[in-house]
Amino acid sequence: MEVTVQIFTGGFSGASVPFELIEQKLLSFINRFRVTKVIMGWSVDKPLYEKTAALLSKHNIEYYLWFPVFSETGALKNLSPLVDYTGSSIDKSDNNPDEDFFFCCPNNRFNIAKITDIFNENFASIKFNGVFLDRIRYPSFAGEQGKRGVFTCFCPECIKIYRSENFDIEKLKLSLCDPEFSLLGLKKYLGSGMYEFQDKVISSFFQIKRNIIYYSLQRICMYFRKKNYSIGLDVFAPFLSQFTGQDIVKLSGLCDFIKPMMYRTTCAPAGLPFETEALLQQTCGTENDNYKRFFKLLGIKPEYPPSAYDVQSGGFKNKPFDVDFTVKELHDLSLLSFCPVYAGIEINRVKDAAQPDPAYIEETIKAYSKAGIRGFTLSWNLLDMPEENIDKAVQLFSS
């Protein structure tokens, strides 16, 4: 199994981290087993990247810039925002200097030009082997705007696309304004992130969004290919991806590897419990019956939801997402993907977000190793990984 490690150095507007800390943590890994790639970003700190490049070059490790695309880049450039189905712009929040999750319109050609300018102005002179593109999506149901953020974008440029596809925007608005509307008018989960919807308008809407993300990302990938960079893509778990505009299988044809974020115990963006709870909350409610119905659709064993969901606390409680289902998701994706799959698993501990322990890491790595994947991406920040978790990962990958 190949192993990739991620390092978060702070956001575009936040404070960076000292090289000495990165060096210490990296050496604790690479002196004990083979790491093939390091993904690092995205603070604007050229000396930090250059020192890390020199260290990794000595150990023959590929070096990728962790680069957010349709979110976070608004900290450095004035980007056109998403517009919701009421015609209102979804404006930037200034709550977190490292990650604001403000998404721009991915269809806007001026946004795309400014995003590539950010790379050219801040990172092009650094000796990276490749780029790892994150936030290649629309907001999810777990975003600050909830359903409003998902049902975007309706700016003039996007409306042109809907009209060219003969998409009835007014029918969509009527569905969304209907108090009886539930996105879980889902007929079937087809696997690899694809659902069969009862409502053809909703189905068409998500198809158009997937096309927009694909063709916009295709342009961005072409920019990096011309500079001879390898490309990795950060994507949602397949069963969540369609709601964010990601057709993972199709996107896999644009890159050299993909990393589905299979975070079974994370209660933060991209975490399977967190995103699932938000999806249900924003569409039909989080009563246990809705969990049971949704998990039955996915094919998750029936005993999972009642024991996993704590009604009184209003969320998942000390229960990682079903491991058998996530293994199947990875297996199916590996069969269809045009490039290698590196499963993203959380190793770091972050208060109120992720608390993986060695037992969880062992269960997850052993299970995912049977799914036909090429390797693992140890996520999402080496600097927050406790030694006991690192030791367990080293033990498993060295055996």
Q: What is the full DSSP assignment across 290-315?
A: HHHHHHHHHT--TTHHHHHEETTTTE
**Model confidence over 67-125: pLDDT tens digits?**
999 999 999 999 999 999 889 999 876 566 678 889 999 999 999 999 999 999 999 99
Dump the DSSP string for 108-133.
-HHHHHHHHHHHHHHTTTS--SEEEE
Range name among 214-223, 315-324, 376-385 with the lowest pLDDT average? 315-324
- Would you say residue 157 lies in a domain? yes
Residues 389 and 357: beta-carbon distance below 8 Å: yes
Residues 6+ apart with CB under 8 A from 184: 280, 283, 284, 290, 293, 294, 297
Determine the pLDDT at residue 297: 92
Residue 306 in this model has a pLDDT that exceeds 50: no
Buried/exposed 282-312: b ≥16 CB within 10 Å, e otherwise? bbbebeeebbbebbeebebeeebbeebbeee
- Would you say residue 34 lies in a domain? yes
Counted domains in the chain:
1
Q: How many Cβ atoms from other residues are within 10 Å of residue 97's Cβ?
A: 13
Determine the pLDDT at residue 141: 94
Q: How many Å apart are CA 260 and CA 270, to the nearest integer?
A: 10
**Model confidence over 216-250: pLDDT tens digits?**
999 999 999 999 999 999 999 999 999 999 999 99
Whole domain around residue 34: which residue ranges?
A: 2-280+322-398
Q: How many Å apart are CA 235 and CA 224, to the nearest integer?
A: 18
Task: Give the confidence band of 369 by pLDDT, cuts at 50, 70, 90.
Answer: very high
Task: Give the confidence band of 181 by pLDDT, cuts at 50, 70, 90.
Answer: low
**Model confidence over 196-210: pLDDT tens digits?**
998 889 999 999 999
Copy the structure tokens of residue 266.
Answer: 């994370």
The alpha-carbon radius of gyration of the chain (Å, integer) is: 20
Determine the pLDDT at residue 302: 64
Copy the structure tokens of residue 59.
Answer: 């150990």
Q: How many Å apart are CA 42 and CA 26, to the nearest integer?
A: 17
Length of the chain: 399
Residue 126 in this model has a pLDDT that exceeds 80: yes
Residue 317 in this model has a pLDDT that exceeds 70: no
Q: How many Å apart are CA 348 and CA 182, to the nearest integer?
A: 35
Range name among 81-95, 196-210, 255-269, 354-368 with the lowest pLDDT average? 81-95
Residue 307 in this model has a pLDDT that exceeds 50: no
**Nearest alpha carbon to residue 204 among 153, 162, 173, 152:** 162
Residue 312 in this model has a pLDDT that exceeds 50: no
Residue 311 in this model has a pLDDT that exceeds 50: no
Average pLDDT, the chain: 91
Helix (H) or strand (E) holding 327, with range, is: helix 323-336
Residues 387 and 358: beta-carbon distance below 8 Å: no
- Would you say residue 188 lies in a domain? yes
Q: How many Cβ atoms from other residues are within 10 Å of residue 54's Cβ?
A: 11
Q: How many Å apart are CA 93 and CA 180, to the nearest integer?
A: 31
Determine the pLDDT at residue 301: 78
Amino acid identity, position 190:
L
Residues 250 and 210: beta-carbon distance below 8 Å: yes
For the ranges 7-16, 46-55, 139-148, 273-282, the maximum mean pLDDT occurs at 46-55
Q: How many Cβ atoms from other residues are within 10 Å of residue 399's Cβ?
A: 6
Copy the structure tokens of residue 149.
Answer: 């953020």
- Would you say residue 295 lies in a domain? no
Average pLDDT over residues 27-37: 92
Which CATH number does the domain housing residue 69 bear?
A: 3.20.20.80
Q: How many Å apart are CA 128 and CA 227, to the nearest integer?
A: 11
- Would you say residue 315 lies in a domain? no
Range name among 88-97, 201-210, 327-336, 370-379 with the lowest pLDDT average? 88-97
- Would you say residue 300 lies in a domain? no
pTM for this model (two decimals): 0.95
Report phi then psi at 339, rounded to 5: -145, 170
Determine the pLDDT at residue 310: 52
Residue 322 in this model has a pLDDT that exceeds 90: yes
Dump the DSSP string for 228-268.
T-EEEEEE--HHHHGGGT--HHHHGGGSSEEEEB-BTT--S
CA-based angle 326:332:335, to the nearest 5? 140
- Would you say residue 285 lies in a domain? no
- Would you say residue 308 lies in a domain? no
